[in-house]
Structure 1
């Protein structure tokens, strides 16, 4: 393992803004990427607990969650870092700090992420609609 997981500090904000933008542009192909902005990272993580993966001091992934509800809001890895176990390591580190059941929403069209969560034991417990499209609510007990 060439990377480490650390607590978020403000110095990571700029690289994580760019990572979040790039990751969504790559993954959310059904949405208009022109509507994405660097500031979106700040809005979706405001008030949340965040862990960051560093590869040689450079952020390459993050997970953000809302502890009162054991709800994982965001898990993103730099596209060029996919397939190296970073997402799973972030998820495990987060789950070690939260209670159960843990929940998250996954956009139904994000089939890669959906497969990732289901392979790790998450189950679909509900579904709904959002401004980004229909989603599944997944639960880990």
Structure 2
């Protein structure tokens, strides 16, 4: 698989909206997917920094973060490209651009993501509950 990471470009936005929608529908099976909209991507990533993984000119994943708080808000990989190093590369590139401690929130029912972050050296700092369910607030100091 030949892919690269780059800054978001306007021509990627439609594909990113679709990737965000499809990934959420597939991942968050315990939530009401009828409330998910294509344009949720725009409001969910507004004013955030973004990096995109692309292959053949098409996005296959993205990461977004809120720089003032070193808070990673989103990390999504097209389900067809999971377990190929895309998420790890996006996370590493993001971490190279933010301060420490870096933080993120991961829903506990998203067991694949939780295991991924723990394997990448993140630790659970606290737990809480949101409208989407129980979550872990995670930190990375490395």
For normalisation by structure 2, the TM-score amounts to: 0.97
CA distance in 2, matches of 1:120, 1:99: 17
Does structure 1 residue 92 correspond to structure 2 residue 92? Answer: yes
**What aligned pairs does 1:1-141 form with structure 2 within 5 A after superposition?**
2-141=2-141
Segments of 5+ residues of structure 1 without an aligned counterpart are none
Residue by residue, what CA displacement relative to the aligned partner does 1:88-124 show, whole Å, maximum 9, x if unpaired? Answer: 0000000000111000000010000000000111000
Deviates more, 1:102-111 or 1:129-138: 129-138
Give 5+ residue unaligned stretches, structure 2: none
State the shift of 1:59 in Å: 0.3
Q: Distance in 2 between matches of 1:70 and 1:112?
A: 23
Superposed displacement of residue 133, structure 1:
1.2
- Secondary structure in structure 2 of the residue aligned to 1:100: coil
Supply the distance in 2 between the matched residues of 1:49 and 1:96 (Cα, whole angstroms): 13
CA apart distance, 1:10: 1.8
Aligned positions, number: 141
Deviation at 1:69, TM superposition (A): 0.5
Q: CA RMSD in A?
A: 0.8
Q: Could you tell me the TM-score, scaled by structure 1's length?
A: 0.98
